[in-house]
Amino acid sequence: RTGRLYLYHYNEDQPYIPLTEIQRIDTAAILDIKWCHVPVAEHPMVGIANSTGAVEFCRLTGSEKKSCMLEPCFRVDLSAQHLALSLDWSTGREQCGCPLRVISSDSEGKLNLFSVDESAPSVHVLNQWEAHKFEAWIAAFNYWDTNIVYSGGDDSLLKGWDTRCSPETPVFTSRRHSMGVCSIQCSPHRENLLATGSYDEHVLLWDTRNMKQPLADTHVEGGVWRLKWHPTCDFVLLAACMQSGFKILDCRGSMAENMEECIILSSYVLHNSLAYGADWSRLCPRDTLTATQDSAAACQSLEELVGRSEEGDERLNLQVQNLKIIYESPTATFDVILDEESEGPALPLKAEGGPKLSGDPDLVRGSDLKGSSDLAGGPDRGGDPESASGSDSGAKRPNGVGLDRSGDSTRSLDSPKEMSIVATCSFYDNILHVWKWEMS
């Protein structure tokens, strides 16, 4: 149960090797890792749930991009006999001035609520309670009302809790999932919208005002270990689906037109591996890859391309849309363009050699018992290492129930050639991929 935490600098001006390792820290195995969405005491802060039953907090110091370092601040030791499995910050809507809280879950089925004092800074345990009979895989805040938290457990139950009330009684208990509930995320853009995922291979969308029946039920053919809403596009949802790889879902129809399933826009199926970590970046990438890759391809002989195409076919499921790999660890030996509209198979393009990176890093990344973990990127720091966790008018369901959005924080991806950066990591092959995704 040992792990490692990596800190990277992302530089888009280096198209073949955009990540440079800044720091690595040997730690206990890391089960979950997330940045606070706002600075804490004027520094970006990351929370880490580990295999010793502790939740640790580190702050990012340094002003120069390549001189940034993570420094331990404080920790809460919950139980040495159990694993800390997940955590979430109350700051999902990036609002300052509210009480700063963290919710975590553990392998004993308990939830742990902390407050973070920014003046010290320090952390205090507010409450602990038994939420599930088996592992509490996931805990998450309602970002619109941070007194409400959600939890999912290996008992197949999804529960809601009002932290102002007695924790022995949940606000609701849903048995809609048929297996362990292991991913939950509240939409930061639309009030009352919640996404949950389970080992039962289904992603459910909920209106939190009616938890008896989900808005949509999408079968993704793999256990859903992580769900992440796009940072600016309110209808796009990223899912890490274990044996079924990574999928990007379009939820517009489910929110506005009463569609029972979300549309899968893009997918990437790993071969002989499991997809566990996935996250968006807040960076707005420049589309600088095409000319560089075309130039590199022209310099290669036809024999080189044909000789390597079989390897590329084996590594990649080509039924994807507008995905470009821009980084792969640990070897970083090739770039691949994936485009559903392109003719013929995608071919790997020769890249400049890069340093080999052991383990499975992410933008700030930790390895867990499964060999990979959540991807985490820092709050905005003018180009320092970042990654994150949309947009039409407020949707109205046919029955008149609206799913409101916060118009100031979202923008439309309906325009052609809108680009996003996605980071994913996987078990068995221990590989981090960084992608550019184009939605047209």
Mean pLDDT, residues 118-123 taken together: 86
pLDDT of residue 418: 78
Q: With 50 as the cut, is the pLDDT of residue 57 above it?
A: yes
Structure tokens at 174: 């849903």
Are 205 and 214 a contacting pair, CB within 8 Å? yes
3-state secondary structure the chain: CEEEEEEEEECCCCCCCCEEEEEEEEEECEEEEEECCCCECCECEEEEEECCCEEEEEEEECCCHHHCEEEEEEEEECCCCCCEEEEEECCCCCCCCCCCEEEEEECCCEEEEEEEECCCCEEEEEEEEECCCCCCCEEEECCCCCCEEEEECCCCCEEEEECCCCCCCCCEEECCCCCCEEEEEECCCECCEEEEEECCCEEEEEECCECCCCCEEEECCCCCCEEEECCCCCCEEEEECECCCEEEEECHHHHHCCCCCCEEEEEECCCCCEEEEEEECCCCCCCCHHHHHHHHHHCCCHHHHHHHHHHHHHHCCCCCCCEEEEEECCCCCEEEEECCCCCCCCCEEECCCCCCCCCCCCCEEECCCCCCCCEECECCCCCCCECECCCCCCEECCCCCEECECHHHCCCCCCCCEEEEEEEEEECCCCEEEEEEEEC
- Average pLDDT, integer, range 380-390: 37
Strand partners, 114: 102, 125
pLDDT tens digits, residue range 214-237?
Answer: 999 999 999 999 999 999 999 999
**What pLDDT, on the 0 to 100 scale, is given for residue 14?**
84
Indicate the pLDDT class of residue 52, thresholds 50, 70 and 90: very high
Range among 59-63, 184-188, 365-369 rated most confident = 184-188
Calculate mean pLDDT across residues 367-387.
42
For residue 278, is pLDDT > 50?
yes
Q: What is the arithmetic mean of pLDDT over 110-117? A: 96
Mean pLDDT of the chain: 78
Q: How confident is the model at residue 279 (pLDDT cuts 50, 70, 90)?
A: very high
State the average pLDDT over residues 74-91.
Answer: 94
Inform me whether the pLDDT recorded for 397 exceeds 80: no
pLDDT in tens, 400-413: 345 655 444 444 44
Give the Cα separation of 151 and 67 in Å (integer). 38
Task: Please check the confidence at residue 293 and state whether its pLDDT lies above 90.
Answer: no
Do residues 182 and 137 make contact, with C-beta atoms less than 8 angstroms apart?
yes
pLDDT tens digit sequence for 84-96: 999 999 999 998 7
Across 121-130, 192-201, 327-336, the highest mean pLDDT is recorded for 192-201
| Res. 342: pLDDT tops 50 | no
Average pLDDT over residues 118-124: 87
pLDDT at 305: 30
Confidence band for 26, pLDDT divided at 50, 70 and 90:
very high
Which comes out higher in pLDDT, residue 60 or 397? 60
Greater confidence, 356 or 428?
A: 428
- Tokens 């073949």 correspond to 16
Query: Given a cut of 70, is residue 334 above it in pLDDT?
Result: no
- Asked if 156 and 181 touch (Cβ cutoff 8 Å), the reply is yes
Token readout for 188 is 């930061």
Determine the average pLDDT of the residues in 249-271: 89
Mean pLDDT on 381-400: 36
- Angle 274-276-277 from CA coordinates, rounded to 5°: 135
Residue 291 has pLDDT above 70, yes or no: no
Task: Of 168-172, 285-289, 335-339, give the range with the top mean pLDDT.
Answer: 168-172
| Between 154 and 366, the higher pLDDT residue | 154
What is the end-to-end Cα distance of the chain in Å, rounded? 43
pLDDT, residue 375, reads 56
pLDDT at 412: 46
Residue 148 binned pLDDT confidence (cut-offs 50, 70, 90): very high
Confidence of residue 282 (pLDDT cuts 50, 70, 90): confident
> CA–CA separation, 89 vs 139, rounded Å?
10
